[in-house]
Amino acid sequence: MSLDYEQSKQFASVLTEALPYIQKFTGKTFVVKFGGNAMVDDQLKTSFARDIVLMKLVGINLIVVHGGGPQIGKLLEELKIESHFVEGMRVTDSATMDVVEMVLGGTVNKEIVSLLNQNGGQAIGVTGKDGNLIRARKMTMTKKGPEVDAPEIIDLGHVGEVSAINVDMLKMLAEGNYIPVVAPIGVGSDGQSYNINADLVAGKIAEVTEAEKLMLLTNVAGLQDKNGEVLTGLTTSKVDELIADGTIHGGMLPKIQCALSAVKSGVKSAHIIDGRVPHACLLEIFSDTGVGTLITNH
């Protein structure tokens, strides 16, 4: 018995383990937020593209939403436009918004579309402005502090939140042969463009399309407890407890709240996945062990 035989056995075992999951998810909708390391490392970008194309080929309806913070920051620096952040949100004036649209709707979106197409997919890039896909309203932030008597309302400029999604357009693409790749730029009732957090857009799209899964790729192994152990198989009530006792805090909090909102609004499950692991999407969906944090209502 050669090593080849052992490898073949292992390969067959992987395929048979995946089969029940493929059968379960055919015809279902998955919304995948693509960001972090997976977006800048060439090997991880290729493995992500292959995962998405494979999932599409086995009958899953996929919608990809992407960010692009580091790429936006780099171009702003080159153009000598200063960036200001308030509690993690980029204050977006008109000049910054032009750069955001150029990077998200142009460079980054087209690169992902091209990558998926090179790997055998049929991807179509859209921004929230196309077909009024993402209607937005201006987001304001209220800052409280001991030094101010009344809460201070901060104007973040062209930063928005989702007010409505054109679900028919998304379903037409995703349920056909296409993979829509969405840049998180919304349009206001006045025609203004708004920069929206990509996690929030992915969460809202998952809600309105009644998705089976919301998958958020991150730069960490998943949601961790106070000892650094990855937590998984969490219910929404358990996540609420972890927020209340301070286990979930800082940069992970908005991501978890977005996942929580989606699951409470009818999405079957949300996954916080380590985008630094090659083929992270396939491992999480088609294997018994998974590679991240799973949140469900049950």
| Nearest-angstrom CA–CA distance, 65 and 211 | 14
Note the pLDDT of residue 189: 92
HEC profile of the chain: CCHHHHHHHHHHHHHHHHHHHHHHHCCCEEEEEECHHHHCCHHHHHHHHHHHHHHHHCCCEEEEEECCHHHHHHHHHHCCCCCCEECCEECECHHHHHHHHHHHHHHHHHHHHHHHHHCCCCEEEEECCHHHCEEEEEEEEEECCCCCCCCEEEEEEEEEEEEEECHHHHHHHHCCCCEEEEECEEECCCCCEEECCHHHHHHHHHHHCCCCEEEEEECCCCCECCCCCECCCEEHHHHHHHHHCCCCCCCHHHHHHHHHHHHHCCCCEEEEEECCCCCHHHHHHHCCCCCEEEEECC
Note the pLDDT of residue 144: 62
pLDDT, mean of residues 179-190: 96
Do 261 and 199 touch, CB atoms closer than 8 A?
no
Structure tokens at 263: 């699951």
pLDDT of 250 over the 90 cut: no
pLDDT of 287 over the 90 cut: no
Do 262 and 206 touch, CB atoms closer than 8 A?
yes
Note the pLDDT of residue 152: 67
Q: What is the pLDDT of residues 191-242, one digit of tens each?
A: 999 999 999 999 999 999 999 999 999 888 788 888 888 888 888 999 888 8
Range among 6-10, 100-104, 281-285 rated most confident: 100-104
Task: Report the share of the chain in percent with pLDDT over 90.
Answer: 55
pLDDT, mean of residues 16-29: 91
Give the predicted TM-score (pTM) of the model.
0.91
pLDDT of 273 over the 70 cut: yes
pLDDT, mean of residues 47-52: 94
pLDDT of 255 over the 80 cut: yes
Query: Tokens 């993690």 sit at which residue?
Result: 88
Q: Which residue has the higher pLDDT, 7 or 191?
A: 191
Is residue 1 very low, low, confident or very high in pLDDT (cuts 50, 70, 90)? Answer: very low
Task: Report the share of the chain in percent with pLDDT over 70.
Answer: 94
For the chain, domain boundaries = 61-191
pLDDT of 34 over the 80 cut: yes
pLDDT, mean of residues 104-108: 93
Q: What angle do CA 191, 195, 196 make, to 5 degrees?
A: 115
pLDDT of 149 over the 70 cut: no
pLDDT of 3 over the 60 cut: no
Do 195 and 219 touch, CB atoms closer than 8 A?
no
Question: How many Cα neighbours within 13 Å face the side chain of 76?
Answer: 23
pLDDT of 162 over the 50 cut: yes
CATH topology of domain 61-191: Carbamate kinase (3.40.1160)
Query: Pairing mode, if any, of strands 61-66 and 234-235?
Result: unpaired
Q: Which residue has the higher pLDDT, 222 or 1?
A: 222
Is residue 2 very low, low, confident or very high in pLDDT (cuts 50, 70, 90)? Answer: low
